[in-house]
Every structure is written in structure tokens, then in C-alpha cells.
Amino acid sequence: MKKERLKAFVKEVEACWPAVLGTMAEVRRPCARPQCRACAEGRKHPGVIFTYMDQGRRRCLYVPQGFVAALREALGHGRRLEQRLRRMGADLIRDYRRQRDAQSPDREGP
Ligand SMILES: [Zn+2]
């Protein structure tokens, strides 16, 4: 049973590569051009920012426009794997009980 779980999990991880935890948000940011009209008028420039936690500290990075779609997909994978890991404890406990009860069917209790 353990082997089957491992195989299923590895398959899922492979299907979820690359996986990322964090969030993406659209922002408006100023540029470095001295005479920029968009910045002077306060419109600034659209950009995407990626936020993630690193050892309890929040960190942010601007996402290159060409990488936004790939990162969005990776964040979806990350959520899927996170969900999978959250359920893993209950799955393993059920597996353990099933195996234990198969070995000694008379045993009572959780
Ligand atoms: Zn500007």
C-alpha cells in the first residue's frame, strides 16, 4: 500500500512540475524615464508582482511579462500539491488502519 501511495504521489508531482507557492497580483509601477507622461499623470505602468514567503519573511519580485502565464500555471500546480499534502495525513492513517485490521481483524478501537 505504501508503495502504491508513493507511486501515485510521484506521478502527481511529475504532472505538477513546475510547482510554486505564492501569489501574483497586478500592480502599477513607475519607470525610470525622466519625462514619462504615464508616470507624470499618475497612471504609471502595469506590471505583475509575485509574492512568496521565505522563512517567515514576505518577499516580492516583479514578474517578466513573458513569464506571467507560466507562473500562473505553476501556482495552480502548487495549490494542487499543497492540497494533496494536506490530505496525505488522513490517507496514511486510513492506510495504516486498513493494514493493521487486515492483519488482526479482531482488534478494536481506532
Ligand atoms: Zn513611466
- Measured in Å, residue 47 CA sits from the centre of ligand 1 at 12
pLDDT tens track for 27-86: 999 999 999 999 999 999 999 999 999 999 999 999 999 999 999 999 999 999 999 999
- Specify the DSSP element, H or E, that contains 61: strand 57-63
Higher pLDDT, 55 or 107: 55
Average pLDDT over residues 9-13: 91
DSSP string, 8-60: HHHHHHHHT-S---SEEEEEEE--S-TT-HHHHTT--EEEEEEEEEETTEEEE
- Measured in Å, residue 81 CA sits from the centre of ligand 1 at 39
* Per-residue confidence (pLDDT) for residue 4, from 0 to 100: 85
Rounded distance, CA 52 to CA 47, Å?
Answer: 17
Measured between alpha carbons, how far apart are the two ends of the chain, in Å?
19
* Per-residue confidence (pLDDT) for residue 1, from 0 to 100: 60
User: Quick one: 84 exposed, middle or buried, by C-beta within 10 A (0-12, 13-18, 19+)?
Assistant: middle
- Measured in Å, residue 50 CA sits from the centre of ligand 1 at 20
Cα dist from 12 to 15, 64, 86, whole Å: 5, 28, 14
* Per-residue confidence (pLDDT) for residue 3, from 0 to 100: 86
* Per-residue confidence (pLDDT) for residue 2, from 0 to 100: 74
Q: Is 80 exceeded by the pLDDT of residue 105?
A: no
Q: Is 90 exceeded by the pLDDT of residue 26?
A: yes
Are 22 and 72 contacting, i.e. CB atoms less than 8 angstroms apart?
no
- Measured in Å, residue 27 CA sits from the centre of ligand 1 at 13
Rounded distance, CA 38 to CA 17, Å?
Answer: 38
